[in-house]
């Protein structure tokens, strides 16, 4: 049975209430550190690592921005662990990517108290600045987004968020619930015993479950799933051949930002920056000779297809690839539509469970007979 604490707040005091909770878990020794989105002065909100209870004042977990995927930060903090207990406040997509990184031994959750927040979407980094300039706050965002109004003037939440069917986090100890909590309140839900112990230690009052939550989450998931299916159908219809794919990628400059931003692009060193791809002039001339011309830089589609074979099984649909592209290529649907196919093929879902083996990490003798079509 889940335990809930209700945090009611007056106007402009949501973050004050939340900071009380984080201050509590730090002061009472539930954790040694908190990694949470925090306001950076007047502009910008970034994940920050807080070790002093006095510094929790600037927390802003519901700020609709995620400039860098928190899964990468989780990896930085725990791949070579400090041994200190840390509470991480992450978005559902970041947590699902973290789950994949655990399986790749790039995250270690032993000392982590995972806190998942309800996510109603994030604005692109530059749009979030505009959002703040227009007076937007996490509170106003939560209210408006729950009413379906995320569009503000000339921008809206990221395309990935509009089609994300995971607004609520899983594989967590605690959940920051905003969906269905009603205006002027959020809830903290303890999902595991570890979470419950931390919640009790924090000193916030244990109370009732938010009445309308399950219904509200279900409704939101249904809306997002429908939008996802529509987007997939559109993208697949537009991009069912290599010519069309090439056109989608025509603005690509091989900067490889999409794989830098991708939380599940797991190679320590990408093969595309190794000597394997440092060709000689002769080699380029030979390729050019073959068809009479060679687009430079070359291997653009080769790079994207290789990335798909590497990460589509782990793709959580966070959309950081699209956000990172300096030439505004909307890469998210490319990776998500492929991920949808490849994950289905292996009955796998990225981020679902730490226990689920990654498909390319194993094999069975009796499977996939259709690949060769041969029986002994």
Q: DSSP state, 269? A: S
- Closest approach, Cβ 189 to another protein, in A, equals 37
Give the CA count within 13 Å in the CB-facing half-sphere of 218: 4
246 near another protein, rule: CB under 8 A: yes
**Coil vs helix vs strand at 103:** helix
Stretch (H or E) spanning 342:
helix 332-345
Is 251 one of the binding residues for another protein (CB under 8 A)?
no
Cβ contact 224:163 at 8 Å: yes
Stretch that binds another protein, among 94-102, 153-161, 239-247, 261-269 (CB under 8 A): 239-247
Verify binding: residue 341, another protein, rule CB under 8 A: yes
Write down the least CB distance from residue 262 to another protein, Å. 16
Classify each residue of 162-177 as buried b or exposed e, where b means 16 or more C-beta atoms within 10 Å of its C-beta. bbbbbbbbbbbbbbbb
Three-state DSSP class for residue 322: helix
Nearest-approach distance from CB 329 to another protein, in angstroms? 15
Round to whole Å and give the CA distance between 313 and 308.
Answer: 8
What secondary structure does DSSP assign to 207-240, as a single string?
Answer: EPPPTTHHHHHHHHHHHHHHHHHHHHHHHHHH-S
Whose Cβ is closer to another protein: residue 208's or residue 370's? 370
CB of 160 to another protein, least distance (A): 19
Stretch that binds another protein, among 38-46, 81-89, 190-198, 236-244 (CB under 8 A): 236-244
DSSP, collapsed to helix, strand or coil, labels residue 204 as coil
At residue 216's C-alpha, the angle toward residues 212 and 45, to 5°, is: 105
Q: Which of residues 105, 147, 241, 268 is near another protein by CB under 8 A?
A: 241
Asked if 294 touches another protein (CB under 8 A), the answer is yes
Counting residues that bind another protein (by CB under 8 A) gives: 47
Q: Is the dihedral of CA 99, 101, 104, 107 positive or negative?
A: negative
Q: How far apart are CB 106 and another protein at their closest, in Å? A: 21
Choose between 208 and 367: whose C-beta lies nearer to another protein: 367
Structure tokens at 287: 């390729």
> Which one among 133, 193, 234, 240 touches another protein, defined by CB under 8 A?
240
Residues 170-199 that bind another protein (CB under 8 A): none
Smallest gap from Cβ 243 to another protein, in A, equals 6
Pairing between β-strand 112-117 and β-strand 174-177 as defined by DSSP bridges: parallel
Q: How far apart are CA 373 and CA 72, in angstroms?
A: 41
What SS3 class is residue 176? strand
Reduced to 3 DSSP states, what percent helix, strand and coil does the chain have, rounded to the nearest 5?
45, 10, 45
Among 183, 345, 354, 357, indicate the residue that binds another protein (CB under 8 A).
345
Applying CB under 8 A, does 356 fall inside the site for another protein? no
Nearer Cβ to another protein (10/243): 243
Q: Give yes or no for a cis peptide into 297 (omega within 30° of 0).
A: yes
- The residue among 147, 162, 152, 210 whose CA lies nearest residue 4 is 210
Applying CB under 8 A, the span of 169-177, 186-194, 222-230, 303-311 interacting with another protein comes to 303-311
Shortest distance, position 73 Cβ to another protein, whole Å: 29
| Binding flag, residue 363, another protein (CB under 8 A) | yes
- The residue (of 136 and 359) whose beta carbon lies closer to another protein is 359
Among 83, 135, 292, 347, binds another protein (CB under 8 A): 292
Per CB under 8 A, 157 contacts another protein = no
Would you say 47 and 74 are in contact if contact means Cβ atoms under 8 Å apart?
A: no
Residues in 311-330 that interact with another protein by CB under 8 A: 312-313
Binding region for another protein (CB under 8 A): 236, 239-246, 271, 287-288, 290-295, 297-302, 305-306, 308-309, 312-313, 337-338, 341-342, 345-346, 359-360, 363-365, 367-368, 371-372, 374, 376
């Amino acid at each position: 049975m889940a335990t809930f604490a209700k945090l009611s707040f007056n106007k402009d005091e949501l973050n004050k209430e939340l900071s009380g909770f984080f201050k509590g878990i730090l002061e009472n020794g539930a954790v040694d550190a908190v990694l949470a989105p925090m306001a950076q002065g007047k502009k910008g909100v970034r994940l920050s690592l807080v070790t002093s209870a006095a510094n929790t004042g600037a927390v802003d977990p519901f700020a609709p921005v995620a400039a860098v995927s928190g899964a990468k930060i989780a990896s930085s903090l725990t791949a070579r662990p400090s041994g200190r207990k840390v509470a991480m406040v992450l978005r559902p997509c970041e947590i699902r990517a973290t789950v994949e990184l655990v399986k790749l031994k790039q995250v270690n959750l032993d000392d982590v108290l995972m806190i998942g927040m309800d996510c109603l979407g994030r604005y692109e980094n530059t749009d979030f600045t505009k959002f703040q300039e227009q007076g937007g706050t996490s509170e106003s965002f939560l209210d408006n987004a729950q009413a379906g109004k995320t569009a503000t003037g000339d921008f809206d939440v990221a395309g990935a968020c509009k089609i994300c069917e995971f607004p609520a986090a899983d594989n967590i100890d605690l959940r920051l619930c905003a969906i269905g909590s009603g205006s002027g309140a959020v809830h903290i839900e303890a999902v595991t015993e570890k979470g419950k112990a931390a919640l009790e230690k924090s000193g916030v009052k244990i109370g009732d479950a938010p009445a309308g939550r399950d219904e509200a989450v279900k409704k939101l998931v249904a809306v997002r799933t429908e939008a996802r299916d529509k987007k997939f159908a559109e993208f697949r219809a537009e991009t069912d051949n290599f010519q069309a794919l090439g056109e989608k990628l025509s603005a690509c400059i091989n900067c490889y930002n999409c794989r830098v931003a991708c939380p599940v692009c797991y190679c320590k060193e990408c093969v595309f920056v190794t000597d394997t791809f440092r060709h000689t002039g002769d080699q380029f001339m030979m390729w050019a000779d073959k068809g009479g011309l060679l687009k430079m830089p070359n291997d653009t589609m080769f790079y994207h297809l290789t990335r798909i074979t590497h990460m589509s099984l782990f793709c959580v649909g966070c959309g950081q690839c699209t956000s990172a592209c300096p030439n505004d290529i909307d890469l998210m649907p490319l990776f998500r539509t492929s991920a949808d196919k490849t994950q289905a093929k292996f009955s796998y879902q990225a981020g679902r469970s730490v226990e689920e083996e990654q498909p390319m990490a194993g094999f069975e003798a009796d499977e996939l007979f259709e690949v060769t079509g041969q029986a002994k």
